[in-house]
Structure 1
Amino acid sequence: MSGADLTRRSLLGVGAALMATPALAKGADPRVGRFTGLREQGVLAFKGIRYGRAQRFARAVPMVADGAVKAQDFAPIAPQRGNPDLPQSEDCLFLNIWTPDSNPAAKRAVMVYFHGGAYSNGTVTDPLTHGGRLAASGDVVVVTVNHRLNALGYAWLKPLGGRFANSGNLGQLDLILALEWVRDNIAGFGGDPGKVMVFGQSGGGAKIATLMAMPAADGLFHSAATMSGQQVVASGPGNAWKRTQALIAALGLQPGDAEGLLAMPSERIVEALTATDPIMGGAVYFGPVLDMTNLPRHPFWPDAAPQSNHIPMILGNTREETRAFIDPRGAKLKGLGWDNLADRVLPEIKIDLDVDWVVAQYRAQYPDWSPEQIFYSATTAGRSWPGQVIEADARAQAGAAATWVYQLDRPSPIDPLRGAAHTDDIPYVFGTLDAPGSMSGTDAGARATRDIMMQAFAGLAKTGVPGLAEWSPYRLPDRATLVVGDGTATALNDPRRWERELWAKAPYVQPGS
């Protein structure tokens, strides 16, 4: 299969499948039970549906709509340092639904999306992740979920008393509550509760990997896809407590002042997130905690969590992840040359190898590459990509249900210096090529790439396999990978073998662990 290109006939078939999906039924009523939505992009949209309510640092409880609900506007997002122009509130447990129609007999596959932002920022109100086009073209029901983030969702407070026993994983428990809401209610929106796929980008993918090891999530979803988002291990409680203490100190509270933390305005807590992380440096990190109850084991260490090995899964990354957050025009690249390349690479990687040796290896392997090319390749391969390799290998070693791996290589036509960077696969999967923030462009290559990605993801949701026949499952030792280019998709075996083997010479350190 190595090197086998998807044929033009296959791509035309993908496009035809997307074009042939049914339009919104004439006169379809934008009402489901007590909810009144609106017609949007050829489907029905229901926005700002509450799925839970929570007190600070406590597990959320489910909420059932009482009386008529106008579900036509997005609700406030979780308090965070990002997205300052959007309304923020601790009361943020809301989801959004896009559906071709609300006929319960339709039993369409359901695609539930979790946003990125490294557990600390982000929202599904981002236009890139609006679900109307995916729902219409993929003939699926799309659900997007907001939940608690950063310290309000993941600070480890159990040392302050048993009432905080769930505190290190509240954001994850919010997602489980949302999935329970989907299980219990999505049939009324035309969805099949027995055919639920979760998918997420960056932190959203990491949240999914973590859910795959959480007993309370077992049975709530039936397929999964992660996009540049891995979670090999969670935070240990010791490191998590050190981070909470750093936050408490930044707030000017005494170490055991639980009441002060409960009474602190959320704006102050968000401001204190600039405290220095005592483990990694940089801003303090909060993420899932190995609490031995809600999360009784690491997601992919020492192996893939057995409870989820029956779930088919897509794992993907972009070719040059770090071009999205290390600006080629910024200070870190200014004056980059052979004399300082190793020093610039060192703070960006999560694998402890001698960087002078690493640079020498890259120069020998790719003698025509510039310092910038080596910088972005090394920082991508030595930062987050190994987590995907570990997860894919672990599932293969466990004999898990089929796993499919992709790599997005299509460079952005909007910014030539961006390459194929972190987040660039989002508009292809959602079909939001022209949304604000999209780097895909809307040319023929963008549209063909969209068709490939959308068909693959919707195919997994509907049938348990991607909609691309030439895409073989990932098995050892072949490591089949679908390399997605400018409207093309090429199936290759282990396309980055050299880099994989180089960075495997030392352990991968999960950020936040």
Structure 2
Amino acid sequence: MKLLFTLVTVALIAGVHSQLTGLVVHTQQGDVAGTLPIPTVRQFIGIPYATAKRWEAPQPAPRRNSVFRATSFGDSCVQTLSASNIQFINLVGGDGINVTESENCLSINIWSPSIRRKQGTAVMLWIYGGGFAFGTSNINGYHGQNIVRDNDDVTVVTFNYRLNIFGQPGTPQLASESKSQNFGLLDLDAAVNWVHDNIANFGGDPSRIILFGQSAGSAAADAYTFAHPHDTIVKGIIEQSGTGANATLNPTAWNTVANAVGCASTAAQFSCMQTVPFRTLENAVISTNSAFNLVMDDITVFSDTATRAATGNFLQVPMIGGSTAQEADIFVVVQELVTLGFTIPVVTELGFTCSAGIAAVNRVKVGVPTWRYQYQGIFPDISIRSDLRSFHASEIPLVFGTYNLSSIPATPAEIALSSYIQQAWVSFARDPKQGLLKLGWPVYNPNATTLIQLGNQANQSGFVLGNGELLDSSCQRVDVLQAVAVQLGGLLLPGKGV
């Protein structure tokens, strides 16, 4: 009896402690229990936000009767770890190769202030990149702890979404039914709705949610604005090195993989593919060198996106958009390491600089508060290759404050720039219309000195202003750039590579 009394007492004390520290939180699917990795930040990771069968739209996660222990990351969605993708991950010092993969991967992660700090915070929902082929929230560089630790009035959320053949199969069977098969984008929709419905209980403000993403994640955020022009949930967008993603109606990749796994082009092809083990499909995608781009379905990705952009038919919320100064550096090195092939001198302009400029101008034309940046920081600890400059994804460790994962010490300028970028991103999240004005950032005008240059040699720990029209001078000859690109071949652009 004494032992039973002791056990009950301990359980009651633990329950009271969890409630007082805010580590047990109610969601629409049931209670979740998180941890306090540091005294000022609560962490809830691996929470199921949806469930989905293969090549079906996500559905709400089932209700639970017991407390879910949100103490470890969920499985990552199935990756396409081709030789070039592995080299990219290695070059940026990523640790996303040895994660556990499965098709039961739709989970969400939350870092929120401890309950002694300000609650009702702005919410930043991160979308990882990876060319819609690989990527996971289970990467140390994407942990939101440091942003929340070093900034008040902010909660950071990350999540997993489906990729490659599992995320956008491009199957003719589904196309004939006029259904969207951009399942990764549908997963984003589900994550946005889950956050809106549940984040208040974690200390977030459901009326202040922004999306921010990089590369394919940025392109997904951009796609969200076109698919949801009248959305009332998302109040701002930060697009880092990615705008409209490549899309296709061509089922060639699907048929190639189907033939490789023994599902010939017959009436039963789709049902046959549904029964193939995911690892077999994953290996077939890699061995056949098949690329699965987003599908132009006129539901989530539109054939008339350019017209919609020009006429303002998109979600008109404030935006920060930009790119890095030498996006292509890392793609050049990947090509050299994998194929000992050519360099790609036009990728930076064609794939990133010009598209960022176009996206910014389209918003400026319809009166959307818009800020445009170019990241120019060069720091030795960001990559294992010292010859890489401001390459694609090099700003991510500064955005998340996770530069300290490297064995090379961060420089004082890098630490200061990271703090400044975080301050800017968080200020925008708190108040998308006015937050950046308070930091002295002018709204973007391509014909004036309003381009925010982050980490420029003249001010490595902050910004200096530049001219967007000058930056985009080569974009006026985009037809020439495209012709060169075709001759070189193999461009790694959003939706096609990283």
TM-score over 0.5 for the alignment?
yes
Instruction: Give the aligned partner of residue 63 of structure 1.
Output: 61
Contact 2:322 2:353 in 1 (8 A): no
* Letter paired with 2:419: D
Q: What secondary structure is seen at the aligned counterpart in 2 of 1:303? A: helix
Instruction: Give the aligned partner of residue 404 of structure 1.
Output: 371
* Letter paired with 2:59: V
Q: How big is the shift at 1:381?
A: 1.7
Are 1:386 and 2:384 counterparts?
A: no
Match of 2:24 among 21, 28, 31: 31
Q: What secondary structure is seen at the aligned counterpart in 2 of 1:326? A: helix
Instruction: Give the aligned partner of residue 282 of structure 2.
Output: 270
Q: What secondary structure is seen at the aligned counterpart in 2 of 1:407? A: strand
Q: What secondary structure is seen at the aligned counterpart in 2 of 1:223? A: strand
Contact 2:214 2:393 in 1 (8 A): yes
* Letter paired with 1:269: L
Contact 1:213 1:305 in 2 (8 A): no
Q: How big is the shift at 1:299?
A: 4.4
Q: How big is the shift at 1:308?
A: 3.6
Q: What secondary structure is seen at the aligned counterpart in 2 of 1:292? A: coil
Contact 2:44 2:110 in 1 (8 A): yes
Taking the aligned partners of 2:369 and 2:135, their CA distance within structure 1 comes to: 30
Cα distance change on mapping 1:209 and 1:162 into 2, 3 Å: same
Instruction: Give the aligned partner of residue 337 of structure 1.
Output: none
Match of 1:252 among 257, 262, 272: 262
1:252-401 superposed matches below 5 A: 252-256=262-266, 257-274=269-286, 283-301=289-307, 303=309, 306-327=312-333, 330=336, 344-345=342-343, 348=344, 375=345, 378-397=346-365, 399-401=366-368
Q: How big is the shift at 1:304?
A: 5.1
Q: How big is the shift at 1:386?
A: 2.1
TM-score by length of 1: 0.78
Instruction: Give the aligned partner of residue 490 of structure 1.
Output: 464
Q: What secondary structure is seen at the aligned counterpart in 1 of 2:421? A: helix
How many residues of Structure 1 are paired with residues of Structure 2 in the alignment? 438
Q: How big is the shift at 1:400?
A: 3.7
Taking the aligned partners of 1:504 and 1:400, their CA distance within structure 2 comes to: 28
Q: How big is the shift at 1:288?
A: 2.4
Q: What secondary structure is seen at the aligned counterpart in 1 of 2:234? A: coil
Q: How big is the shift at 1:476?
A: 3.8
Q: How big is the shift at 1:324?
A: 2.0
Q: How big is the shift at 1:501?
A: 3.5
Q: Which moved more, 1:25-34 or 1:308-317?
A: 25-34
Contact 1:224 1:312 in 2 (8 A): yes
Are 1:500 and 2:475 counterparts?
A: yes
Taking the aligned partners of 2:337 and 2:119, their CA distance within structure 1 comes to: 53
Q: Which moved more, 1:256-265 or 1:188-197?
A: 256-265
Q: What secondary structure is seen at the aligned counterpart in 2 of 1:396? A: helix
Q: What secondary structure is seen at the aligned counterpart in 2 of 1:175? A: helix
Match of 2:388 among 398, 418, 434: 418
Q: Which moved more, 1:219-228 or 1:287-296?
A: 287-296
Cα distance change on mapping 1:329 and 1:292 into 2, 3 Å: closer
1:107-122 superposed matches below 5 A: 107-122=120-135
Taking the aligned partners of 1:384 and 1:205, their CA distance within structure 2 comes to: 11
1:172-187 superposed matches below 5 A: 172-187=185-200
Are 1:243 and 2:263 counterparts?
A: no
Q: How big is the shift at 1:325?
A: 2.9
Match of 1:144 among 138, 158, 181: 158
Q: What secondary structure is seen at the aligned counterpart in 1 of 2:351? A: coil
Cα distance change on mapping 1:269 and 1:459 into 2, 3 Å: same
Q: What secondary structure is seen at the aligned counterpart in 2 of 1:453? A: helix
Taking the aligned partners of 1:447 and 1:288, their CA distance within structure 2 comes to: 37
* Letter paired with 2:67: A
Taking the aligned partners of 1:328 and 1:77, their CA distance within structure 2 comes to: 24
Two-structure CA RMSD over aligned residues (Å): 3.0
Contact 2:112 2:202 in 1 (8 A): yes
Q: How big is the shift at 1:101?
A: 3.0
Q: What secondary structure is seen at the aligned counterpart in 1 of 2:281? A: helix
Q: Which moved more, 1:64-73 or 1:467-476?
A: 467-476
Q: How big is the shift at 1:396?
A: 2.1
Taking the aligned partners of 1:217 and 1:132, their CA distance within structure 2 comes to: 32
Q: Which moved more, 1:25-34 or 1:288-297?
A: 25-34
Contact 1:312 1:401 in 2 (8 A): yes
Q: Which moved more, 1:69-78 or 1:133-142?
A: 133-142
Percent identical? 25
**1:6-57: CA deviations, max 9, x gaps?**
xxxxxxxxxxxxxxxxxxx996332212111001243000000000011110
Taking the aligned partners of 1:234 and 1:186, their CA distance within structure 2 comes to: 32
1:62-141 superposed matches below 5 A: 62-66=60-64, 67-82=66-81, 83-101=96-114, 106-139=119-152, 140-141=154-155
Q: What secondary structure is seen at the aligned counterpart in 2 of 1:382? A: helix
Q: How big is the shift at 1:165?
A: 2.3
* Letter paired with 2:261: L
Instruction: Give the aligned partner of residue 431 of structure 2.
Output: 463
Cα distance change on mapping 1:152 and 1:222 into 2, 3 Å: same
Q: How big is the shift at 1:429?
A: 1.0
* Letter paired with 1:62: P
**1:252-277: CA deviations, max 9, x gaps?**
3211311110001111111122365x
Instruction: Give the aligned partner of residue 165 of structure 1.
Output: 179
Q: What secondary structure is seen at the aligned counterpart in 2 of 1:91? A: coil
**1:361-420: CA deviations, max 9, x gaps?**
xxxxxxxxxxxxxx4xx43223333221221122223x2411111111111223531111
* Letter paired with 1:39: L
Contact 1:109 1:462 in 2 (8 A): yes
Match of 1:46 among 33, 44, 47: 44
Q: Which moved more, 1:80-89 or 1:51-60?
A: 80-89
Cα distance change on mapping 1:273 and 1:301 into 2, 3 Å: farther
Taking the aligned partners of 1:39 and 1:304, their CA distance within structure 2 comes to: 47
Contact 1:317 1:408 in 2 (8 A): yes
